[in-house]
Amino acid sequence: MVGDHSSDKKEQIREAVREGYGKIAKTGGSCCSSSCCGSGAAEKVAQGVGYSEAELAVLPEGANMGLSCGNPTAIASLKPGEVVLDLGSGGGFDVFVAGPKVGPTGRVIGVDMTPDMVSKARRGIAAYTKHTGLDNVEFRLGEIEHLPAADASVDVVISNCVLNLSPDKPQVWREIGRVLKPGGRIAISDLALLMPLPQEILDMVESLIGCLAGAVLVDETRAMAEAAGLVDIQLKPKSGYIDSMMDWNDPLFHKIVENLPKGAKAGDYVTSLEVTARKGSR
């Protein structure tokens, strides 16, 4: 299981992810770790996973970097006045989408471990406030395994294609359980495995930055959520998303597909997974 890495290995993975996403932040970002996705690729990715044109229209420039594998703000059913925590907030994409949904009495906090991403997101706050009239978002530097948030302080935890990158997923789930208020809920879009990936894929650092190598089996996700004290766990695979990514001119994904067994598709192994649950109220 992914959570069983040694501490040295965990830190190596964390540094590889931080370095990879730091490069994405500095180069303007896209659906791949280089700038070769073609114009409009980030918008195509976002629309492909369910973001509306109206949601994308309010984003500060550069916030959408095409790093989505779902739309957690949609499945979260956010309400005015709620406190939302976004794990691995990157350039602020989902934070800025969630802000208008919780309104002036709500708060959306983004957490990311990559300083360049946090800086990029913070630079977008002024444009967000100018466009919406809201001053209800913030970004904190921190690891999702050690969230910079108080116990039982959050109504909703969201995350978009990030948990798979963690070398210690059980610890992430424990932190989610810790920060949620009793009765609080999660809405997470992530990548998960339908069956184990071939070893050659796991050995490719590019696949880690592309979210694939760190993905775990769907049943493992359920077990970790249960162990963290969550109930009413719903796991909804959306396999078609993975195969559609092959059309997005991302050389990283094409390289991964080339290393799959003959005749296999990425969607045979990997799915986009919507995870919803709530924290028990006891």
Domains present along the chain, CATH in parentheses: 2-279 (3.40.50.150)
Q: In what order do the strands lie in the sheet with 180-193?
A: 137-141, 107-112, 83-87, 154-160, 180-193, 270-279, 230-238
Lowest mean pLDDT among 119-128, 158-167, 245-254, 268-277: 245-254
Lowest mean pLDDT among 46-50, 87-91, 92-96: 46-50
Average pLDDT (19-44) is 49
Average pLDDT (194-217) is 69
Residue pLDDT, tens place only, 164-180: 888 889 999 999 999 99
* pLDDT value of position 90: 86
* pLDDT value of position 65: 47
Examine the pLDDT at 146 and tell me if it is beyond 50: yes
Examine the pLDDT at 143 and tell me if it is beyond 50: yes
Between 268 and 144, the higher pLDDT residue? 144
R_g (Cα) of the chain, nearest Å: 17
The DSSP bridge pattern shows strands 270-279 and 154-160 to be unpaired
Examine the pLDDT at 193 and tell me if it is beyond 90: no
Q: Per mean pLDDT, which of 181-185, 200-204, 206-210, 264-268 is the most reliable?
A: 181-185
Examine the pLDDT at 8 and tell me if it is beyond 70: yes
Examine the pLDDT at 47 and tell me if it is beyond 90: no
Examine the pLDDT at 31 and tell me if it is beyond 60: no
Average pLDDT (60-70) is 56
Examine the pLDDT at 229 and tell me if it is beyond 80: yes
**Under a CB-based contact definition with an 8 Å cutoff, are residues 259 and 266 in contact?**
no
Question: 255 - beta bridge partners?
Answer: none
The terminus-to-terminus CA distance of the chain in angstroms comes to 30
Written in H, E and C, the secondary structure of the chain is CHHHCCHHHHHHHHHHHHHHHHHHHHCCCCCCCCCCCCCCHHHHHHHHCCCCHHHHHCCCCCCCCCCCCCCHHHHHCCCCCCEEEEECCCCCHHHHHHHHHHCCCCEEEEEECCHHHHHHHHHCHHHHHHHHCCCCEEEEECCCCCCCCCCCCEEEEEEECCHHHCCCHHHHHHHHHHHEEEEEEEEEEEEEECCCCCHHHHCCHHHHHCCCCCCCEHHHHHHHHHHCCEEEEEEEEECHHHHHHCCCCCHHHHHHHHCCCCCCCHHHHEEEEEEEEEECCC
* pLDDT value of position 21: 61
Band of residue 144 on the pLDDT scale cut at 50, 70, 90: very high
* pLDDT value of position 16: 66
- Distance (Å, rounded) from C-alpha 50 to C-alpha 45? 9
Average pLDDT (58-77) is 65
Between 262 and 133, the higher pLDDT residue? 133
- Distance (Å, rounded) from C-alpha 234 to C-alpha 139? 28
Rounded mean pLDDT of the chain? 79
Between 63 and 29, the higher pLDDT residue? 63
